Amino acid sequence: MRYLPLTDSDRSAMLDVIGAPNVDALFSDVPEIARLDGPIRDLPMHASEMAVEKHMRGLSKKNLAAADAAFFLGAGAYRHHVPASVDTIIQRGEFLTAYTPYQPEIAQGTLQMLFEFQSQVARLYGCVVANASMYDGSTACWEAVAMAGRVTKRSKAVLSGALHPHYTEVVKTMAKFTGDTIAAAQPSIQADPDNAGLISRIDADTSCVVVQYPDILGRLPDLEEIAAAAHAVGALLIAVNTEPVALGAIKSPGELGADIVVGEGQALGVGLQFGGPYLGLFAVRDKKHVRQMPGRLCGETVDADGRRGFVLTLSTREQHIRREKATSNICTNSGLCALAFTVHMTLLGEKGLRQLAAENHRLACIAAEKLAAVPGVTVLNHSFFNEFTILVDGDARQIVRDLAEDNILAGVSLARLYPDVEEFTRGLLVAVTETTSEEDIETLCAALKEKLS
C-alpha cells in the first residue's frame, strides 16, 4: 500500500511495546455484532496508481468539457480563464496540506493570505469587513438572512423574485427549521427588475430584503432605491452577487447602500468544477455588525517581539468556543479556494479586473446584438453585464439538449431552474465571458437560426 509506511516488522515491534498480541486486540472494545471478519464485501481491492488513474480518466472522458464546446452557461457559475500560476501556488504543499491556522506562529502564510483576501473582498463589495469565506454563495446568503435576524431581532426576510432559485431554496429550507418567515416570489419575465413590486412587500416586520445584483435574469437592479426603502423601516439590505467580475464594471453594492453583501467567488481562481467546491463571500458595510458575523475572521496583531502578525480572531462568535450560542455552526471556510481567488485577484489588480470586466461586457453586447438578429429570438434585458435572458420560439430546454449534441452548450434554460413554471419554458440564460470567442457566438447564432426556422 503506497500510502502506508509501516512494514510488518514495524507493526510487530510496535505491538510488543503496546503489549498486545495482535492488531485485533486493539479493537477489543468493538462488540461482536459489529466485527467484520475481513475486508468489506462488494468493494474492489486496492489498485495501482496507473489503474486508478485510468479508471478516473475513463469517467472524465464521459463528460463534455467546456473547452471542447461553444459554451454559454452561467446562472451562478462562470467560466473564466485562470492564470496557470494560480494553480501552481495552491498546489504548494505548505498551502495545500496545512490545517486551519489555529497555531498562528507556524501558519502566517495562510493567515496573511486570508487578511489579504478579506481586504480584497471588502473593497470589491464596497464594505469595511469581510470574513475569511463561507462554503459558497448560497449558504452565505442564508447566513446573511440569519444574521439580519440577529441584528434586527425580526424574523421576516423579503426575497427578490430574481434571486437565484437555488439560493431561495436554501434560505427557505433553513428557515423551515429556525421558524423565520421567508417572503419569496418568482421572477417577473420583464426587461427591467421589478423594484416596485419588491419594495411593496417590505413592512415593519421585515428583517432584511435580499436582492441579487446582477439578478438571475442578468438585469441590473438599482439597489439604492431598495436600500432606501429597507432602511426606512429599519430593515437591512442584503445584496447577493454571483459574478464578482461584474464589480469591475458596475458600482459596488456597498456604495449603493447594501448592509450585508454576500456572493459566490468561484468566478475568480476557482473554476467550474461541476458546482463545487466554491467560495462564499461575506462582508458588512458597517463595523458595528462585525460581532454578529458568521465564520472565521483573520485579524492583525503583533507577536511577542513586536513584529506584525495575523491570527484568527473574534472567535467568541464561533461554535468551538460558544458551542450552542455561536453565531453559526460553520466550522470550515473555503481556504484553498480563497487562496485561489486572492492570487487571481492579485494578478488582475484593479486595472486587470476592469479590463476583464470590460472585455466580458463587450463580448456580451456583441452576443446580444447578434442573437437579437436571429429570427425567433428576443433579447429580454434592457441592462446586463455578461449574462442576459433570451426568449425563443420553442421549448428552450429541448433546444439546449439538442444543441449539446453538436457541442454547443447554449446556456441555462429557465425551465431547468424553475421546473414547475410553465411560462418560463421559452427562457434561456446566455452568459458570455472572455473565454467566449466571436466564433463561438456565430456558432450559437447559426445553430439557433437553423433550429428555430
Partner 1 sequence: LEEKLIFEIGTPDTTGVDLPEVDDSAPNKLGGMRRDAEIGLPGLSEPETVRHYTRLSRQNYGIDLGFFPLGSCTMKHNPRLNEKVARMPGFADVHPLQPVDTVQGALGVINELAHWLITLTGMHGVAMSPKAGAHGELCGILCIRAALEARGDARKVVLVPESAHGTNPATAAFAGYAVEDIPANSDGRVDLEALKARLGPDVAAVMITNPNTCGLFEPDLREISDAVHAAGGFVYCDGANFNAIVGRVRPGDLGVDAMHINLHKTFSTPHGGGGPGSGPVVLSEALSPFGPLPFTARTDDGVIHLVEEETASEFGHTKAFGRMTAFHGQMGMYTRALTYMLSHGADGLKQVSEDAVLNANYILRSMEDVLHAPYAHSGPCMHEALFGDKGFAEGLSTIDLAKGLIDEGYHPMTMYFPLVVHGAMLVEPTETESKATIDQFITAFRSVAERAKAGDELLKTAPHYAPRSRLDETLAARKPVLAYVDPE
Q: Which residues bind a copy of itself (CB under 8 A)?
A: 2, 48-50, 53, 57, 67, 81, 83-84, 88, 91-93, 347, 434-435
- Prior bond of 214 cis (ω within 30°): yes
- Coil, strand or helix: which one is 224? helix
- Whichever of 235 and 337 has its CB closer to partner 1, that residue is 337
Query: What does 319 interact with, of partner 1, a copy of itself, none (CB < 5 to 8 A by kind)?
Result: partner 1
Query: What does 26 interact with, of partner 1, a copy of itself, none (CB < 5 to 8 A by kind)?
Result: partner 1
- Whichever of 181 and 273 has its CB closer to partner 1, that residue is 273
- Prior bond of 277 cis (ω within 30°): yes
- Please report which helix (H) or strand (E) contains residue 181, including its range: strand 181-183
CB of 2 to partner 1, least distance (A): 5
Closest Cα partner for 126 from 270, 268, 281? 281
> 135 CB contacts (<8 Å, ≥6 apart)?
277, 278, 280, 330, 332, 334
CA–CA separation, 209 and 199 (whole Å) = 9
Query: What does 335 interact with, of partner 1, a copy of itself, none (CB < 5 to 8 A by kind)?
Result: partner 1
Query: What does 392 interact with, of a copy of itself, partner 1, none (CB < 5 to 8 A by kind)?
Result: none
Query: What does 435 interact with, of a copy of itself, partner 1, none (CB < 5 to 8 A by kind)?
Result: a copy of itself
- Whichever of 5 and 375 has its CB closer to partner 1, that residue is 5
- Whichever of 243 and 318 has its CB closer to partner 1, that residue is 318
Q: Cell 430584503, residue?
A: 209
- Coil, strand or helix: which one is 320? helix
CB of 67 to a copy of itself, least distance (A): 8
Q: Cell 509501516, residue?
A: 6
CB of 408 to partner 1, least distance (A): 11
Query: What does 203 interact with, of a copy of itself, partner 1, none (CB < 5 to 8 A by kind)?
Result: none
CB of 434 to a copy of itself, least distance (A): 7
Q: Cell 480584497, residue?
A: 120
- Whichever of 26 and 96 has its CB closer to a copy of itself, that residue is 96
- Whichever of 40 and 196 has its CB closer to partner 1, that residue is 40
CA–CA separation, 370 and 362 (whole Å) = 13
CB of 78 to a copy of itself, least distance (A): 15
- Whichever of 151 and 348 has its CB closer to a copy of itself, that residue is 348
**Grid cell for residue 61:** 472522458
Query: What does 186 interact with, of a copy of itself, partner 1, none (CB < 5 to 8 A by kind)?
Result: none
CA–CA separation, 300 and 65 (whole Å) = 42
Closest Cα partner for 311 from 66, 164, 118, 27? 118
